[in-house]
Structure 1
Amino acid sequence: MGFWTLFGVASMPILQVLLVSAIGALMATDYLNLLSIDTRKSLNKVPMNQCFTFSDYIYIYLWFMPINIGITFLVGGTLGWIAAKLIKPKPHLEGLLIAMCSTGNLGNILLIIVPAICTEGGSPFGEHSVCKSKGLSYSSFSMALGSLCIWTYTFQLIKSSSLRYTAFIKQAEESPQEPNKDPDSNENTRLLNNGERTQEYIDVLVPSSYSISDVQPSVHHESVRKEEKKDASLSSKLVDIFHKVLKELLAPPTLGSIVGLIFGATPWLKKLVIGDDAPLRVIQDSATLLGDGTIPCITLILGGNLIQGFRRASIRPVIIMTIICVRYVILPSIGILVIKTASSLGLLPVDPLFSFLLLIQYTVPPAMNISTMTQLFNVGQEECSVLTMWSYLAAAFALTGWSTVFMWILA
Structure 2
Amino acid sequence: MAFWDLLVVASMPVVKVLLIGGLGAVLSTQYVNVFTEDARRHLNKIVFIVFIPALMFASLAKSVTFEDLISWWYMPFNIFLTFLFGATLGWIIVKITKPPEYLKGIIVANCCAGNMGNLLVIIIPAMCQEKGSPFGEPSVCRVYGIAYASFSMALGSIFIWTYAYSLIRSSSHIHEEQQIESGRQEKVPNIDYLNAGEKSGLLKTVQVAPEVQSPGGNPLSRSQSACSIIRVSSIPKDFNQEVVLLSSPEKPSYFHNILGKVQEYTKDTCQLILEELKAPPTVGVIAGFIVGAIPQVKNLFIGENSPLRVIDDSISLLGEAAIPAIILILGGNLVKGLKSSSLKTITIVLIICVKYVVLPVIGIFVVKGASYLGALPDDPLYHFVMMIQFTVPPAMNIGTMTQLFNVGEEECSVIFLWTYVVAAFAVTFWSTVFMWILFP
Q: Give the TM-score range, shorter chain.
A: 0.7 to 0.9
Give the conservation status (yes or no) of the 8 Å contact 2:72–2:376.
no
Q: In 1, Cα distance between the equivalents of 2:408 and 2:189?
A: 27
Give the conservation status (yes or no) of the 8 Å contact 1:336–1:359.
yes
Match of 1:26 in 2: 26
Match of 1:53 in 2: 59
Give the conservation status (yes or no) of the 8 Å contact 1:335–1:359.
yes
Q: What is the Cα deviation at residue 144 of structure 1?
A: 0.5
Q: In 1, Cα distance between the equivalents of 2:71 and 2:393?
A: 25
* Cα distance, 1:354–1:233 mapped onto 2, change above 3 Å: closer
Give the conservation status (yes or no) of the 8 Å contact 1:365–1:391.
yes
Secondary structure in structure 1 of the residue aligned to 2:51: coil
Alignment of 1:107-146 (within 5 A): 107-146=117-156
- AA of the residue aligned to 1:306: L
Match of residue 168, structure 1, among 178, 203, 206: 178
Q: In 2, Cα distance between the equivalents of 1:12 and 1:111?
A: 15
1:37 has 2:23 as partner: no
Q: What is the Cα deviation at residue 239 of structure 1?
A: 4.0
Deviations for 1:194-232, whole angstroms, at most 9, x for unmatched residues?
A: xxxxxxxxxxxxxxxxxxxxxxxxx9xx8xx9xx99xx9
What are the ranges of 5 or more consecutive residues in structure 1 without an aligned counterpart?
180-218
1:324 has 2:352 as partner: yes
Deviations for 1:145-165, whole angstroms, at most 9, x for unmatched residues?
A: 111111111111100121122
Give the conservation status (yes or no) of the 8 Å contact 1:50–1:288.
no
Alignment of 1:238-317 (within 5 A): 238-317=266-345
Q: In 1, Cα distance between the equivalents of 2:305 and 2:83?
A: 43
Secondary structure in structure 1 of the residue aligned to 2:303: coil
* Cα distance, 1:234–1:352 mapped onto 2, change above 3 Å: closer
Give the conservation status (yes or no) of the 8 Å contact 1:24–1:35.
yes
Secondary structure in structure 2 of the residue aligned to 1:275: coil
Deviations for 1:120-167, whole angstroms, at most 9, x for unmatched residues?
A: 011010000000000010000100111111111111110012112222
Give the conservation status (yes or no) of the 8 Å contact 1:47–1:252.
no
Q: In 2, Cα distance between the equivalents of 1:160 and 1:233?
A: 12
Q: In 1, Cα distance between the equivalents of 2:56 and 2:311?
A: 10
Q: In 2, Cα distance between the equivalents of 1:158 and 1:284?
A: 39
Q: TM-score, normalised by structure 2?
A: 0.79
- AA of the residue aligned to 1:140: S
Match of 1:197 in 2: none
1:375 has 2:403 as partner: yes
Match of residue 386, structure 2, among 358, 362, 367: 358
Deviates more, 1:52-61 or 1:126-135: 52-61
1:100 has 2:110 as partner: yes
- AA of the residue aligned to 1:374: T
- AA of the residue aligned to 2:113: T
* Cα distance, 1:396–1:238 mapped onto 2, change above 3 Å: same
Q: What is the Cα deviation at residue 312 of structure 1?
A: 2.0
Q: In 2, Cα distance between the equivalents of 1:53 and 1:372?
A: 27
Match of 1:203 in 2: none
Give the conservation status (yes or no) of the 8 Å contact 2:341–2:414.
yes
Give the conservation status (yes or no) of the 8 Å contact 1:27–1:35.
yes
* Cα distance, 1:137–1:333 mapped onto 2, change above 3 Å: same
Secondary structure in structure 2 of the residue aligned to 1:349: coil
Secondary structure in structure 2 of the residue aligned to 1:53: helix
Q: What is the Cα deviation at residue 236 of structure 1?
A: 5.9
Match of 1:73 in 2: 83
Match of residue 342, structure 1, among 357, 370, 388: 370
Give the conservation status (yes or no) of the 8 Å contact 1:3–1:408.
yes
Question: What is the identity percentage for the equivalent residue pairs of Structure 1 and Structure 2?
Answer: 52
Match of residue 166, structure 2, among 153, 156, 172: 156
Q: In 1, Cα distance between the equivalents of 2:40 and 2:278?
A: 19
What are the ranges of 5 or more consecutive residues in structure 2 without an aligned counterpart?
191-247
Higher-Rg structure is 2
- AA of the residue aligned to 1:143: M
Match of 1:89 in 2: 99
Deviates more, 1:255-264 or 1:20-29: 255-264
Q: What is the Cα deviation at residue 97 of structure 1?
A: 0.4
Alignment of 1:396-407 (within 5 A): 396-407=424-435
Give the conservation status (yes or no) of the 8 Å contact 1:273–1:280.
yes
Q: What is the Cα deviation at residue 33 of structure 1?
A: 2.6
Deviations for 1:158-187, whole angstroms, at most 9, x for unmatched residues?
A: 0012112222332333337799xxxxxxxx
Secondary structure in structure 1 of the residue aligned to 2:59: coil
* Cα distance, 1:235–1:42 mapped onto 2, change above 3 Å: farther
Give the conservation status (yes or no) of the 8 Å contact 1:107–1:142.
yes
Give the conservation status (yes or no) of the 8 Å contact 2:277–2:283.
yes
Q: What is the Cα deviation at residue 233 of structure 1?
A: 7.7
Q: In 2, Cα distance between the equivalents of 1:327 and 1:234?
A: 30
Q: What is the Cα deviation at residue 249 of structure 1?
A: 2.8
- AA of the residue aligned to 1:329: V
Secondary structure in structure 1 of the residue aligned to 2:57: coil
